[in-house]
Amino acid sequence: MHRYIISSGSKAADIEPVAVALHEILNRLPVTARSREFPGIRIEEGKIVDRNYSGPVLEQVIEENRVLRVTPRNGAYKGVPVIVSPIRDVDGTAICAIGIVDITGIFDLATLMDHQSAILKQVCGKDPCPLPSEQIDAKR
Kindly list the domain boundaries of the chain, sorted by start residue: 12-106, 109-139
Taking only the tens place, the pLDDT of each residue in 20-47 is 999 999 999 999 999 999 999 999 999 9
Which CATH homologous superfamily contains domain 12-106?
GAF domain (3.30.450.40)
Alpha helices by DSSP H, the chain: 12-25, 56-64, 103-106, 109-114, 116-124, 132-139
Taking only the tens place, the pLDDT of each residue in 2-23 is 888 899 999 999 999 999 999 9
Cβ-contact 9, 95 below 8 angstroms: no
The answer, as to whether pTM is greater than 0.85, is no
For the chain, give the mean pLDDT: 85
Q: Closest Cα to residue 77, out of 36, 44, 38, 48? A: 44
Is residue 97 helix, strand or coil? strand
Q: Closest Cα to residue 35, out of 17, 72, 57, 62? A: 62
